Structure 1
Amino acid sequence: MFRAASKMASNCSLEASKRIISISHGYGKSEIESVTSALQRGGVVAVPTDTIYGVAALAQNREAVQKLYDIKGRNSEKPVAICVSELEEIEKWGRVSSVTKNILKDLLPGPMTVVLRRTTSLNPDLNPTTSVVGIRIPDNDFIRDLARACGQPLALTSANISSHRSTISIEEFKEIWPKIDLIADGGVLRDRTRQGSTVVDLSNDGAFKIIREGCAYEKTLDILRRKYNLRESK
């Protein structure tokens, strides 16, 4: 029985390894096309970001978003952020005032998630219980090129089972490999704090609220308080 179990585990690991694409030493058109194809088929992929590893699906695909929640073992009422490639894309998915637009230029790309009031263009099945959405533009060329190739936002959350610690290498989320369609291996990521992005709510003009301190907390506070003189809500 032990031999059979070991063989089964070995086979699962071998099968999962066939779905790993190495991008730790660079990537090209073929790698982007492979991951894009998996997403467009409704799959969920694991990708490196500028903080920790994430799992992503097409945000506008209802079934793919549900699969993302299932992999995470996460309550669908807990919001998932979206990732876009360019600042200009944010206004399609979140409501942006003239002041907020300037703030976004100072915060993004970077390890921040900006929470804005969502627009009607966003998939209503994504975070259906809230009127806001978190938006990311990671300072990571691969995931931005991926979002650009897909032509729509990626639903993005951390590559781990919900409530488990964040991951900085693909080996750290092996338990969910069998459920993931493709894994982009970017090696061991630099953010050893595992804090993830700083999440800041900018949905109310003239004020901000830090939802999660994350790895860019001090930088975010400095920009919002010193440069824009925004009031912090508690």
Structure 2
Amino acid sequence: MEDDIKNACEVMQAGGVILYPTDTIWGIGCDATNEEAVKKVYEIKKRADSKALIVLVGNPQKVDFYVRDVPEIAWNLIELANKPLTVVYSNARNLATNLLAEDGSVGIRVTHEEFSKKLCDRFRKAIVSTSANVSGMPTPVNFSEIPDVIKNAVDYIVQYRQEDVSRPAPSSVIKLDTGGVIKILRP
């Protein structure tokens, strides 16, 4: 695992794209602050860049760095979530602008899964996490289902957990609007 983390960080520092296990499904990832790297992710997925990407961080304190004025309720939601939770925040900052939604919002998930948490902590920046599929195609739930077109397009493929055939559930997704209004996008 340590070699995978070291190699993945080196690739992302150089502006590359990785394929890695997360707290939900396998993801295509890159440095979430690097617009060129984010552009590569959109190209790999053949996805319009008007569709936002989510990012992973390794601890809740990082949310403050990427969101201006985090609603107080967010901290309770992050702390009490009993499964992976992606929170969409208004007023994103310090991230590549081409990964944000048109309204300037961003989806951030604090990961607790061992590998992705260690990766985020070592990289010390938010990491893009988007499903490892071409846009519009079925989402692979484990490594064996990831199409070769994706595997051949990334700069590094993490070895850790490739043999895992469990079928993890996607994260819940909620949007926090100003004033702490909660909108459930995916239960």
Q: What is the TM-score normalised by the length of structure 1?
A: 0.72
In structure 2, the residue matched to 1:111 is: 84
**Residue number among 158, 169, 181 corresponding to 1:207 in the alignment:** 181
Structure 1 residue 62, shift from structure 2 partner: 0.9
Q: Does 1:37 align with 2:10?
A: yes
Q: Give the 4+ runs in structure 1 shifted more than 6 A.
A: none
Q: 1:81 & 1:128 partners in 2: Cα distance?
A: 10
Q: Is the 8 A contact 1:81 1:156 kept in 2?
A: yes
Q: Alpha carbon RMSD of aligned pairs, Å?
A: 1.8
Q: Which residue of 2 aligns with 1:191?
A: 167
- Partner residue in 2 for 1:177: 151
Q: Which structure carries more relative contact order (alpha carbon 8 Å, separation 6+)?
A: 2
Aligned length: 183
Higher deviation after alignment, 31-40 or 93-102: 93-102
Q: Which has the higher helix share?
A: 1
Distance 1:120 1:138, change over 3 A: closer
Deviation at 1:131, TM superposition (A): 1.8
Separation in structure 2 between the aligned mates of residue 166 and residue 188 of structure 1, nearest angstrom = 16
Runs of 5+ unmatched residues, structure 2: none
Who wins on radius of gyration, i.e. which is larger?
1
* Structure-1 residue corresponding to 2:93: 120
Answering whether residue 59 of structure 2 is matched by residue 86 of structure 1, we say: yes
Determine if contact 2:53/2:128 at 8 Å carries over to the other structure: yes
Identity fraction in percent: 29
TM-superposition CA deviations, 1:25-65 (whole Å, max 9, x none): xx22x221111111111111111112211110101111100
TM-score, length-scaled by structure 2 = 0.89
